[in-house]
Structure 1
Amino acid sequence: MHCVLQTLYHLLYRPKGTLKNIMLDALSLTLKTGYKNLIEGLDGSRKALQLLAIAKQYKRPAVCITNTIAELNELEDELAFLSSGQQTVLRFSDWETLPYDAFSPHQDIISQRLETLAKLSECDAPIILTTAASCLTRLCPKQHLDAQHFHVKEGQLLALEKLAKKLTDAGYLNVDNVHEHGEFSIRGALMDVFPMGASDPIRIDWFDNEIDSIRFFDVDTQRSTDKVSEIKMLPAKEFPTSAQGIQQFRQRFRERFETDPLSSPLYQDISSGIIPSGIEYYLPLFFTETSTFFDYLDPETLIVRMDTFNEQVASVQLDYRSRHESLSYDIERPILKPEEICLREDELFSHLNQYASVIFSEQGDNANYRPLDEVKIESKSPTPLGNLSRFLDHSSARVLIVAESAGRREALLELLKKHKIQPDYCEDWSHFLTTKKNLCITEGNIGRGFQIKNDIALIAESEILGERVSQKRRRKQGDVNEDAIIRNLTELRLNAPVVHIDHGVGRYLGLTNLQIDGQETELLTLGYANDAKLYVPVSSLQLISRYTGADEDTAPLHKLGSDKWSVAKQKAAEKARDTAAELLEIYAKREARVGHAFSKPDDQYELFAAGFPFEETPDQQLAIDAVIQDMSAPKPMDRLVCGDVGFGKTEVAMRAAFLAVEGGKQVAVLVPTTLLAQQHYENFCDRFADWPVEVELLSRFRSGKQSSAAIKRLEEGKADIVIGTHKLIQGDINFANLGLVIIDEEHRFGVKQKDQFKALRAEVDILTLTATPIPRTLNMSLSGIRDLSIIATPPAKRLSVKTFIKQKDDYQIKEAILRELHRGGQIYYLHNDVQTIEKAAADLTELIPEARVIVGHGQMRERELEQVMSDFYHKRANVLVCSTIIETGIDIPNANTIIIERADKFGLAQLHQLRGRVGRSHHQAYAYLLTPQDRKLTKDAEKRLEAITLADTLGAGFTLATHDLEIRGTGELLGDGQSGHIEHIGFSLFMEMLDRAVKSLKNGESPNVDISSPALTDINLRIPALIPEDYLGDVHSRLILYKRIASATTEEDLKDLQVEMIDRFGLLPEATKNLFRQTDIKLKAEKLGITKIEANQKEGKIFFNSTTPVDPMKLIRLIQTKPDQYKLVGSDTLKYIAPMMNAEARFQQTYKTLEQLH
C-alpha cells in the first residue's frame, strides 16, 4: 500500500488571509500508475468527501466506479452538496437493459451518456461517476462522436432543410410535437429540436436562410422560455444512422453471421431505415473498430473503485455469458459473442493498470473520522429530541444539520426550535466551513452524515427523523397547468362521438375544406344517423363538446331534425333539477350542523408529518392544507381528494387521521376490498408505529375472535383507527367517539353503502379518496357543495409506464420477467382465470426456474391470501401470478413490470388501474398487454388497447378522457341515479345543466336548465379565415386551436392565443390573422345584440336581434348624417356602403361601423 498519513492539509476550502485548517486530515497518496492505494472506513457520505479531497488535491480527472446505479445516484447527490456545486461531476450510467435485450435504453439515458462522452475532453479536472457494467461495454469510436456533433448559432447562415437533413443523418426523429431527446419538428420557418445532452428542447426561428433566434421552450406547454445564442447538437444515437452507417452495418452483418439476412427482421428493419429496439447490442457492426470507456479518458486520470469491484465485474460478465447461451439459437436475431460487446477481464485490467488507482473500502477504521452518535428522534419518549440534545451538549464539534429541501428545512427548523434547539441558517457546506457558528442548518441531499475527528459533524435529516426518500425531479416541474390537462381531453379521434348542443350526439368525421362564396373555409364535419352530415364552421366550435357518458361504440347516434335529442335534454334537465335540490339539502344540513372543530396542527403533528418518507408534491401539499383547514372549521368536512394511481392520496388521509386521533376522536377507514384493507392496515401500522395510536383491522383476513375483540376495543374507545370494508358502518358497531371517516375508491361500493355514506355526511368529517380523473367543469359545478382537491403532479423520479401490446409468446414473457429480475425488481403476472391460474404459475416456474413464483386470487382462504401478499410485499417472492384482486390500491414500489394475459378482455378504466400498479419508483416500468395468438381481436378491444398504449404519460387518468373514467367521477360525487341521463346527453352537458340548477336554487330562483346554443353572431366577410394546413399540419392541434379561438370571451384571450401560436408555429399567415380579427369582431358584435354581419366588395349588412342594446336614436342620427354610407333595410338591418376590395378594407369599415354603434 502506498498510503502515507501526512500533516494537516488545507484541502477543499482555504479562506483568504488565513492558514487555519478548516477541513480534514487528508491522505496524501503516492499515486503511481498500476499501484492500488487502499483507503478504509469510508461508509456513507465519507466516500464523497474523500473523492472530492483527492480530486481537489491532485487537480486531474477522477473516475469513480460504483457497483450499482443506486450507489452512483447517491454519490452524485453527495458530491453536489459537499462541493457546494463548485466541482464538475459527470455521470456515465449503464443502459438499464438486459444483455442482448430487445429493448433500447430510455432516450434520457442515451442523452446523458453522449453528453458525458462529449464533455470528457472539454472539462477541467472533472469527477466522472460510472458503474462496473458501463466500464465493460464497448463504445463508438471517439472520432465518430467528434465528427457527428456540430453547433448551431444565432445569425448563422444555415438553411432549415439542410439542418433537418443533418439531424436526420444524426438519428433524430421528425415528429409532430417534440417531447423527448432526439426529436425534431418543422412548422413553416420554425424548427423545434430536443438536442441530446440538453436540459430543455430549443426552438429555432429563421429569417430566409439565416438563423434569427434560438430559444428554449417548455415541453408541457410548448411555450418559449429563455433565449440562447448557441447550442451544441450531439448525435441522437451511439452509432451512425446515416445511409453510409447503415450500409456498413449490413455488410458486417452478412460477414459476421451465417444466417440468411433476409430471414432477420432486425436486418430488414435497418435496411429500410428503421432503427429497431435493442440495436445497441449490435454496435460493433457499425464500426471497423470500437473504443472503450478508457479511450475517452485523459492519460493522467485517476481511477477510484470499490473493494468489491472484481466481484461486480465477474457478475456482469456471467450475465453476458448466460444470456448469450440462452439466446444464441435464434436464427432470426443472431447475436454477437460476449467479448465482442464487452471487455474480457484481462482487457479490463490491462486498461486499468495504465492509470493510478485508489480503492475505497467501507470496512476497517479511518483515523480521520469518528463514529457519529445516535441522534434519532424517539416519538414515544417524553423528550423526543433527547438524543440530539445530548449530542449537541457533549460534543466539541461544530454541527451542520442537512434537510432535504427548503420546505423540509423550515419544517425541521420549527420542530427543533420547539425543543429549544436553534440552529442558524447557512447557504451551503462551504458557507458553513467559513463561518464560526457552532450549530447550523442548510438543505441538500445526504444519505448519511459523518464526524471529522472532533472538528465537524454533518448530520443528515434522515438520521434525526428516520429514513426518508429524497425526491429529485428529472425535469423541472412548473405549477400544475389544469388548462393543459383539460385541453388534452379535447383531442378527438376519427369517428369519436361528439355532442352538438342543438343537434345531439354525432360522430366526428374530421376537418373539411370547402369553397363558400368563392373563399376557402375549413369546417368540422359531423356524421349523424342515416349518413346525414352536419358542417360546423370553425367559428362555432364552442357548440361542440366531446361525448363522455357511455362506451364510444354504444353512444347514441341522433337523427338530424328529430325530437329525440330535445326529449333527452328535457329529461336530463329534470334530473339535474332534482339532483341539485338533493345536493343543496345535504349542503344545508351540513352548513346548519355544528361539527367538531379540530385543533390546528401542533408540534406533535409536525413530528408526524416529518416522518413522511417523500418530499410532498405541490398538489399534495395543497390537498393536505385544505383538509387541515376543513377539519379545523366548525362544520363537518366533506372533501374529495382525487389523484391518479400512486400520486400520494394515502398520505393526505394519514395526516387527517393523525389530527383526528390527536383531537380525541376515532377514525374509520372504509375500503372496497379485503386485500386493500390489509395493505392499508400495514401502511397505517408502519406510519403510526412510533406513536401511541392503536390501529385495528376488520376484514375477512381476521378470525371471528379477533374481529369481536377489535369491535369491543372500538366501543370502549381503546382503538383509535379501524380499517375495514363496508361492515364498519352497518350498524352493529357502536363507536365510542367517531370523528372522521375516510372512504377509499367510493365508486366501488354498492348503492346501499353509498346511501349510508350520505347519511354520515351530516354527522362526521368525511374524506374520500379516488383515482378517478375529475374534469374542471365538475369542480365548478359542485363548488361549495362538496370540496374537491386534485393531485395532478406525479411524484418525482417516476418515469411513465412503457406499454406494449404483444401476442402471447413464451420468449417475450421470459425476456420481460428476466429484464425485471436483472435489476432486482418484482413482476405482477395477471392471469384472470382461477381454474387455470395454478397451471399458469407452474408454466412460469418451468420457463424461468430462477424466479420465485407465488399465486394469489380472491377465492383463496383469507389466511392463505394474506400470507401470499405478505411474501410478495417483503420480497420473499419476485413473481406474483394473480387475478384482478391487485387492481385497487396494492402498493409495491419494487414491482415495475406487469404482464396482463388476455388484455383484450379488460375495459379501458380497468387496464389503466392495473397498469397503475407499476411505475411507482424512479425505474422505467413496463406493462405488457398480451393477446391470444390464434384469435382475431374485436374492433372494441383493438381501440381500447390502442388508447391505453397512447396514453402512457404520467397522470394519464386525466388524458384518458373516456366514458368509463369520467362517468366514475359523476357516480362518485352524485350517486348512480344520473348515469342513464348522462349516457343520453353526455357528461359535459349534464354538468352544465346541474351547474345552472345549483346556482338558481342557491339564489332562491326557479331553476331554468334548458340549454340551447346561445344566440351566436355569424360573421361572413367573404375572406379566407382559417389555419392553413401548410402552417400547422397536425389535425388535432388545428382542431384544439379552432375550439380555443371560438371559445375566447375577451380580446385579451385572443391576444394571448396569437402570441402562443406565433411562439409555437411561427408568424401567422394572412388567413389566420383574418380568423383572429373576425373572432374579435364577433365578440364586439355579440355585446351589441348583433346576430349576423356580412360584407362584400361594395357593401356590408349588420343584422340586429329584437333586444339589441343599441340606441335607436343613435342609428337614426347615423343614417341622417351619412345617408350615402348608411341605410336601414327593414326594421332590423343596417347597411353600410363603401368600396371594400380587400380583406383589410372590410375589417376597417366593419370596425368603424361597430364603433359608431357604441
Structure 2
Amino acid sequence: ELFSNLGQFARIRLSLAKLGTKAGNKNLSVCELPSIRIDHKQHEPYAAFIDYVTAQKKKKSRILLSVESDGRRESLLNILKPSGLKFKEFDTFEQFTQSDSDVGLIVSPLEQSVVLGSKPSLSIITEQELLGIKVSQRRRRKHKYEASQDALIRNLAELKEGQPVVHLDHGVGRYQGLQTIDAAGVITEFVTIIYAGESKLYVPVSALHMLSRYSGGEESSAPLHKLGSDAWEKAKKRAAEKVRDVAAELLDIYAQRQAKPGNKFTLDGQAYRQFSESFPFEETDDQRNAIEAVLGDMQSKQAMDRLVCGDVGFGKTEVAMRAAFVAVNDGKQVAILVPTTLLAQQHYENFKDRFADFPIEVGVLSRFNSTKEQKDTLENMANGKLDIVIGTHKLIQQDIKFNDLGLLIVDEEHRFGVRQKEKIKALRADVDILTLTATPIPRTLNMAMSGMRDLSIIATPPAKRLAVKTFVRQRDVELIREAILREIKRGGQVYFLHNNVETIERVAQELSEWVPEANVITAHGQMREQELEQIMTQFYHQKYNVIVCTTIIETGIDVPTANTIIMDRADKLGLAQLHQLRGRVGRSHHQAYAYLLTGDPKALSKDASKRLQAIESLEDLGAGFALATHDLEIRGAGELLGDDQSGQMQTIGFSLYMEMLEQAVNALREGKEPTLENLLQKQTEVDLKLPALLPDDYIHDVNARLGMYKRVASCANLGDIDELQVELIDRFGLLPDAAKNLFSLQQLKMQASNLGITKIEANPKGGYFEFSQNTKVNPSFIIGLIQSAPHIYKMEGANKLRFAISEANARERLKMVTAMIADFEKKVSH
C-alpha cells in the first residue's frame, strides 16, 4: 500500500466510510496521478487521461470520478466535453458498483484518489487531483455579508427602491427596481433608474458594471442629475483632477512605506506550533487567514501596518497573541495600547494566562496600579526585563523608554484621536504596527480600501455563537421590567447602560423598585480604581445580577452569563459604540438580547434614526464591517490625506471615487498620465439579440438576482465565471439556457475587452465589431479577411468591421461570434 503516513491512511478510510464502503488494510492504496493530470497548457491536455481510461477499460478495471458538489460536477463535465469521453452520473457509490458502467461520475466528500482491490481494480479519482489543484470553491457564509471589501462597498444586493445609484455615463439617479422587457422578441431584464424631470433610464443587466451604489454621504443630500446635461461630465472631470493629486500623494506614501525598513522576524516553527496548540478553540477560516497574513507581514523586510477588522468575540485577540509570541520569541519587546483601564486589566490577565507556560514576562501600565508598581514596570521595560507591556495612553507619553520594541498592537483604534495615532507612528520608524478594531472609522476603512493599509477581515463567527437579537423601542417601564425579569429567571445577568454619572444612582434606585427580584449595583469611570475593579469582579462572579453603568463597559471584562443589555437613550450613542456595546452580550452559546431605548421617536435627529436603523437591521454575526460601511455613508468617507470630511467623494459617490483612484494609481505606476478616459475603463458592449438573464422562476428574490447580476458583471477572469456558475448550480439548481447565455456573454466581453474591441453587435442578418484606437487585433489579419471574402466583410469608417453572415438561431450566432473572437486572439499584434 502507498501511504506517506498512518494519518493519511486513516483519512482515506474515513472518507470511504462516508461513501458506505468498508476498506480493509489489504485492498486499498493511494492512487498516484501525476501522469494523467489534465494540463491546460499542453497542446492536447486530455491525451494522458484518455489513454489511462482506455487502458483501464482493457484491463476490465473501472473508473469513478469524484467531485465535491453538483456545481463542480457540471463544471468538470464542461471541461471534459472536448475529450469526447462520456461519463454516466450516479447518485450513490452503491449505484455505481451495482451498475455495468466502466466509467462514472459521483458527488462525494473524498479528497484523495484511491484504488480499491487489485484485479480488476476500481480507481476513484478526485477532481482536485485530476486537475492538479485544490478546488478553491469559496464556502458560502451563513450570514449575508461577503467578507470581501469589493462586495461590501459595491454590493447592489441590498438596494431599496428610491436609493441613489451612480451610472458611469449619466450620473446619480434613483433606483426604481428591476423590470423585464420584451425588446424585439428578446426578453431582457433591465434596472430602472429615474433622473431629474422624471426621466427614466433602462440599464440592461448585461451592463450592470456601469452601476454602483452611491455612498459617501447622506442619501437625502445625494445629487440628482439631469439626463443629457453636462453637469455629470463636469463633476467627473473635477473628480479626475482631484484623484490624480491624491494618487500621486498615495504613491509617495507607498514609496516611503516600502523604503521604511522593518524588522524581519524569524519564525521558530516548533515553538510557535507549541504555542498555537495551547489555543483552547478551533480557529475559524478567517482567523487562520488573518494570522497567516500577519505572520507573513512580520517575516517581510517592510514594516507591517495591518488592520484586522472582526466583530467582538471573533478572535482578534488570538491574532494579536500569536504576533506577540513571534516577536518576543525573536528577542523583541511588544507594546499593546488599549483605550481603557478595564480592557488593559482584562488583556493583562488573558495574556498572563496564555503565556504562563513560556518564559515570557507580561506587565501592565494603568491607573489600577500603584505609583510604585508603575515605576517598576517602566524600569523593567527600559532594561528589557519585560517582554510584553499592556497599557493605556501612558504608553505613548514622551518619557516612556523601551529596551528593544519590535511590535506595537493597537486595540480598538477608533477610540484614539488623530494626534495620538500620529504619536504612535512616530514612536519608532521600524516598529511593526498591528491594529485591531470591530468597526473601523470611515477614514481608516477608506485608507484600507485604497491600499494604504493592509486589511484582514474576520467575518466568520465562532462555532455555536448566536446573533444578538436587537430591538429599538421607546423607553417604557413595562418593557424594561420584562427584559430584566426574563434574563434573571434563566439565571443570567443584565447590563443597564445609562451614560450620565449625575443621575446613575437615581436610575439604579428606580430599577430596584421596578424589579424587586434584581440585585442592582452601579459602575462608572469616576469611581476609584480599586472600587471599580472590585465591583466588576463581583459582577463577574454573579454577586449582582444587574449592573447600571456608563459606556466604561464598552471595552470591558467578558461576562459569559450577561446576555441582556438595555441601553438608555441609545439615540445619543455613535454607531461604533452601539455595535461595541451590543458585543458585550452574547459571548457564550446562549441567545442574547439588546434593547435600544429612545425618547420620543419624532424628536430623534435624522442621523440618530439612521444609526438605530442600521444597528437593528445588521444584527447578523460579523456585521461590524458592514456597519462601518453604513457609517461611511452616514458620516461621509473623509478625505484620505486631509482633515476634510466630505471632499470630492460627495459629488460622484464613494465607489466610483475609489475605482478612479485605483486606476490612477495603476496608471502612475506604469508611468502613464491618468486622464478621465483611462480612469473610467469601460467594458465591451455586446448585443447578440439573445435572451441573457436569470429568470425570476430560477431566483425569486429581486435583490438576490440584482446581486448576482452585479457579480456576473464583475467577473474578471474565466476562473471567476466558473466559480460563480458552480455556486449558482449548488444554490438554485441547473442553469436555465438564458442564464448560460448570460455567462457566455460575460466571457465574450472579457475576451473582446482584452483585444481592444469596444462593441460587438450581431443580429439574424449580420453585425459588426468596433475596435478601439489601441486594439491588439492585427490589422493585416483584418485586411486579409476583407480581401478573401469582400462580399462578407467590409470596413465602415476607420474602426468598424461589418460582417454579412445570416444566422437566425441565437445560440448558433453566439457560437459564430465566439469563434470569430478566437480567430482574432490567434492573430494578435505584438
Q: What's the TM-score, normalizing by structure 1?
A: 0.53
- CA distance in 2: counterparts of 1:1157 and 1:596, whole angstroms: 48
Residue in 2 aligned with 1:947?
614
- Partner residue in 2 for 1:644: 311
Q: 1:628 touches 1:656 (CA, 8 Å); kept in 2?
A: yes
Question: C-alpha separation between the residues in 2 aligned to 1:537 and 1:912?
Answer: 38
The equivalent residue for 1:213 is none
8 Å CA contact 1:746–1:972 kept in 2: the answer is: no
Q: How does 1:138-537 map to 2 (within 5 A)?
A: 484-486=146-148, 487=151, 490=155, 491-494=157-160, 495-514=162-181, 516-517=183-184, 519-528=186-195, 533-537=200-204
Query: 2:256 matched to 1:585?
Result: yes
Where do residues 438-837 of structure 1 align in structure 2 (5 Å cutoff)?
484-486=146-148, 487=151, 490=155, 491-494=157-160, 495-514=162-181, 516-517=183-184, 519-528=186-195, 533-555=200-222, 557=224, 561-562=230-231, 563-590=234-261, 595=263, 597=265, 600=268, 603=271, 608-628=275-295, 630-631=297-298, 636-688=303-355, 693-704=360-371, 706-760=373-427, 762-772=429-439, 782=451, 786-837=453-504
Distance 2:325 2:698 in 1: 57
CA distance in 1, matches of 2:424, 2:251: 18
Q: Specify whether residues 1059 and 991 from structure 1 end up closer, same or farther in structure 2 by C-alpha distance, changes over 3 A only.
A: same
Q: CA deviation at 1:670?
A: 0.9
Shift of 1:734: 2.0
Q: 1:1024 to 1:755 in 2, by over 3 A?
A: same
Q: CA deviation at 1:1101?
A: 2.9
Task: Tell me the CA shift for residue 664 of structure 1.
Answer: 4.4
Change (3 A) 1:1007 1:1060: same
Distance 2:308 2:526 in 1: 32
Deviation, structure 1 residue 769: 1.6
Deviation at 1:630, TM superposition (A): 4.6
Is the alpha carbon distance of 1:974 and 1:789 closer, same or farther for their aligned partners in structure 2, counting shifts above 3 Å?
Answer: farther
Q: 1:922 and 1:726, CA in 2 relative to 1: closer, same or farther beyond 3 A? A: same
Aligned-pair RMSD on alpha carbons? 4.1
What are the superposed Cα offsets for residues 47-98 of structure 1, whole Å, 9 maximum, x if unpaired?
xxxxxxxxxxxxxxxxxxxxxxxxxxxxxxxxxxxxx9xxxxxxxxxxxxxx
Instruction: Find the aligned partners of 1:583 and 1:639 in 2 and give their Cα distance.
Output: 14
Q: Which amino acid aligns with 1:1119?
A: I
Counterpart CA distance in 2 for 1:608 and 1:1095 is 63
Contact 2:523 2:532 in 1 (8 A): yes
Distance 1:552 1:898, change over 3 A: farther
Flag structure 1 segments of 5+ consecutive residues without an equivalent.
1-83, 85-201, 204-224, 231-476
Q: Aligned partners of 1:734, 1:672: CA distance in 2, in Å?
A: 20
What is the Cα deviation at residue 861 of structure 1? 4.2
Counterpart-to-counterpart distance in 2, 1:742 and 1:778: 18
Asked if residue 1129 in structure 1 is aligned to residue 783 in structure 2, the reply is: no
2:537 matched to which residue of 1? 870
SS state at 2:212 partner: strand
Contact (CA 8 Å) 2:639, 2:647: kept in 1 or not?
no
Amino acid in structure 2 at the alignment position of 1:1018: E
Q: Distance between the aligned counterparts of 1:1045 and 1:606, measured in 2? A: 41
Could you report, residue by residue, the CA deviation over 1:280-319 in whole angstroms, capped at 9, with x for unpaired residues? Answer: xxxxxxxxxxxxxxxxxxxxxxxxxxxxxxxxxxxxxxxx
Q: 1:551 to 1:865 in 2, by over 3 A?
A: farther
Aligned-pair distance for 1:1157?
A: 4.5
Tell me by how many angstroms 1:1041 deviates. 1.6
Q: Structure 2 CA distance, aligned partners of 1:694 and 1:789? A: 28
Shift of 1:728: 1.4
SS at match of 2:749: helix
Distance 1:891 1:781 in 2: 34
Q: For residue 1009 of structure 1, report the CA deviation from its aligned partner.
A: 8.6
2: CA distance, partners of 1:1110 / 1:912? 54
Q: Which runs of 5+ in 2 are unaligned?
A: 1-13, 15-68, 71-88, 95-137, 826-830
CA–CA distance in structure 1, aligned partners of residues 690 and 253 of structure 2? 51
Q: Secondary structure at the match of 2:621?
A: coil
- Contact kept, 8 Å, 2:660 with 2:680, in 1: the verdict is no
**For residues 1080 and 611 of structure 1, what CA distance do their matches in structure 2 show?**
48
User: What residue is the counterpart of 1:1118 in the other structure?
Assistant: 785
How many residue pairs were aligned?
686
For the pair 1:1039 / 2:706, whether they are aligned, the reply is: yes
What amino acid sits opposite 2:539 in the alignment?
Answer: F
Residues 893-927 of structure 1, C-alpha deviations (whole Å, 9 max, x = no match): 22222122333444443322222222111111222
Displacement of 1:952 after TM fit? Answer: 2.3
Aligned 1:57-72 pairs, distance under 5 A: none
CA change 1:638–1:837 in 2 (3 A) is same
| 1:798 CA displacement | 1.0
Larger radius of gyration: 1
Task: Indicate if the aligned counterparts of 2:260 and 2:302 stay in contact, CA closer than 8 A.
Answer: no
* Higher RCO structure, 1 or 2 (CA under 8 Å, sep 6+): 2
- Deviation readout 1:648-676 (Å, 9 max, x if unpaired): 11122233334444554433211123332
- After TM superposition, the structure 1 = structure 2 runs for residues 33-72 of structure 1, keeping only pairs within 5 Å, are none
Map Cα deviations across residues 379-437 of structure 1 (whole Å, 9 max, x no partner). Answer: xxxxxxxxxxxxxxxxxxxxxxxxxxxxxxxxxxxxxxxxxxxxxxxxxxxxxxxxxxx
Is 1:1064 paired with 2:731?
Answer: yes
Aligned to 2:762: 1095
Amino acid in the other structure paired with 1:922: H
AA partner of residue 884 (structure 1):
T
5 Å-filtered alignment, 1:754-1153, equals 754-760=421-427, 762-772=429-439, 782=451, 786-888=453-555, 890-932=557-599, 935=602, 941-960=608-627, 962-964=629-631, 980-996=647-663, 999=666, 1012-1051=679-718, 1053-1151=720-818, 1153=820
Question: Could you say if the C-alpha distance between residues 1104 and 962 of structure 1 is closer, same or farther in structure 2, counting changes exceeding 3 Å?
Answer: same
Q: Is the Cα–Cα contact under 8 Å of residues 145 and 623 in structure 2 kept in the other structure?
A: no
8 Å contact 1:828–1:882 — kept in the other structure? yes
**Cα 1:900–1:1011 shift into 2, 3 Å:** farther
Note the C-alpha offset of 1:816: 2.2
Tell me how far apart the structure 1 counterparts of residues 220 and 635 of structure 2 sit (CA, whole Å).
Answer: 18
Identity %: 56
Deviation at 1:733? 1.6
Q: Deviations along 1:802-856, whole A, 9 cap, x unmatched? A: 2223333333322322332233322211223333322222121122223222222
Shift of the alpha carbon at 1:569? 3.5
* Counterparts in 2 of 1:714 and 1:1090: CA distance versus 1, 3 Å: closer
Offset at 1:731? 1.0
| Alpha carbons 1:480, 1:792 under 8 Å: kept | no
Tell which deviates more after alignment, 650-659 or 681-690.
Answer: 681-690
